[in-house]
Amino acid sequence: MTQPLRTADIHMIQRLIPHRYPFLLVDRVREIDGYQTAVGVKNVTMNEPHFQGHFPAKPIMPGVTIIEAMAQTAAVMVGTALDMQDQNMMVYFMAIESCKFRRMVIPGDVLEMRMKTERGKPGAKVWKFSGIATVDDELACEASFTAMMDLGGATAG
């Protein structure tokens, strides 16, 4: 029997990861399937501070913030699966690989991040994820990355 998919609203996200405005880049995570897969959602608005300078006449979400939103989705997935709420979980990039940007992301878009764990298990500190970010089912970004997850004293795996 399979477990039901879990979700994380903004309140749960803030209990799982330390990011806050202006660097909290995921609004909701849905379809969390253990620590294997998850779908995150970022509602892109003109009110975000990076649009003041990137670019004033043509606001475009910076690619690094798209990758960060993908990483935050992965962190929420793992934190939810391992019941890490209120544990001060920290996540650090170690590598970003195979990253390609395919479409501009602009205010008004709904960015959907589909993340998959490639390597990692409960107790591991180093995890590898791959994923895509889309807008209206159109590919905006694809990337793989490795992250060190400080899971509140978990042992290395």
Q: Which residues are catalytic?
A: 54
Tokens 């006449």 sit on residue: 57
Q: What is the DSSP letter of 50?
A: G
Cβ contact 60:106 at 8 Å: yes
Helices (H), 6-58: 10-16
User: Can you give the length of the chain in residues?
Assistant: 157
Q: Is the peptide bond before 18 cis (omega within 30 degrees of 0)?
A: no
